[in-house]
Amino acid sequence: MRLITQQTDVDKLHDYLFTKKEVQLSPALEQKLERLERCDGLIRAYGVRSQVVEMLIEYYKGKDQAYSKRTAYNDFQETQELFNSGYRHDIRRYNVDLIIGEVIKTKRQAEKLEVPDTRAMAACDANLIKINEKFFGETDKIDWSLIKRPMMIFSFDPSLINSDVPVEKEKLEKLINKFKTIRKKVNDKPVVQDITWEDVKP
């Protein structure tokens, strides 16, 4: 029996890497994971898609493996989806990770100078704060007092229902009182006792 599933290769690899699900990778998926991990390393080192794609093609060409430019571009896209730190299909988070990595790298280089460049380090900290505000927002900016419960107004309009309902005020009031009486009698009966029409009829 063949199992029909809508899971993509990236979905399966994501479950394998980042969840506690028991996932068995096929040989083809193991090869794909190796390709995407290699692509991830190249993206973080070089960043530019065209350069990364050419480097992947050259690498697999040197190993005498069939690897087309189309496969390389697909690997580039799927790498960002797989190793994204947020919602998988929003690859902006992946690019934000790259930017943060570059800022931190710059700060580390400023720290390693013979005379640490404190001005550059402070600028890096300021950029990290701006990145956080730009892409992740601030919960303090939300005015929770503006969130109100919706006002619900209940009304009765016989024209909106398919029923022969008396519209005269006196008849309508009489009908409403009748049902109020029935409801009161029902509520007064013990829960475990069966209720018959004789118990509640006017």
**Per residue in 61-108, pLDDT tens?**
998 889 999 999 999 999 988 988 655 566 777 888 788 888 988 999
The reply to whether 63 falls in a domain is yes
100 in the same domain as 78: no
174 in the same domain as 122: no
46 in the same domain as 99: no
pTM of this structure? 0.53
Considering only CA atoms, give the Rg of the chain: 33
Q: When comparing pLDDT for 9 and 150, which is higher?
A: 9
The reply to whether 147 falls in a domain is no
**Count of the separate structural domains present in the chain:** 3
pLDDT band at 194 (very low <50, low <70, confident <90, very high): low
What's the CA dihedral at 185, 191, 195, 200 to 10 degrees? Answer: 0
Helix (H, G, I), strand (E, B) or coil at 38: helix
CA distance 28 to 35: 11
Whether 79 and 43 have beta carbons less than 8 Å apart is answered as: yes
70 in the same domain as 34: yes
CA distance 145 to 5: 45
131 in the same domain as 71: no
79 in the same domain as 4: yes
Distance of CA 120 to the CA centre of its chain: 36
48 in the same domain as 12: yes
CA distance 136 to 87: 13
What's the CA dihedral at 32, 37, 43, 44 to 10 degrees? Answer: 170
Whether 135 and 92 have beta carbons less than 8 Å apart is answered as: yes
Beta-carbon count within 10 A of 107 CB: 19
Which residues constitute the domain of residue 58? 1-83
Residues across the chain: 202
105 in the same domain as 66: no
CA distance 62 to 14: 29
Distance of CA 44 to the CA centre of its chain: 24
For residue range 13-56, list pLDDT tens digits in order. 988 988 888 888 999 999 999 999 999 999 888 877 888 999 99
172 Cβ contact list (under 8 Å, min separation 6): 165, 166
CA dihedral for 5, 10, 12, 18, sign (positive or negative): negative
Structural tokens at position 155? 């009304």
The reply to whether 49 falls in a domain is yes
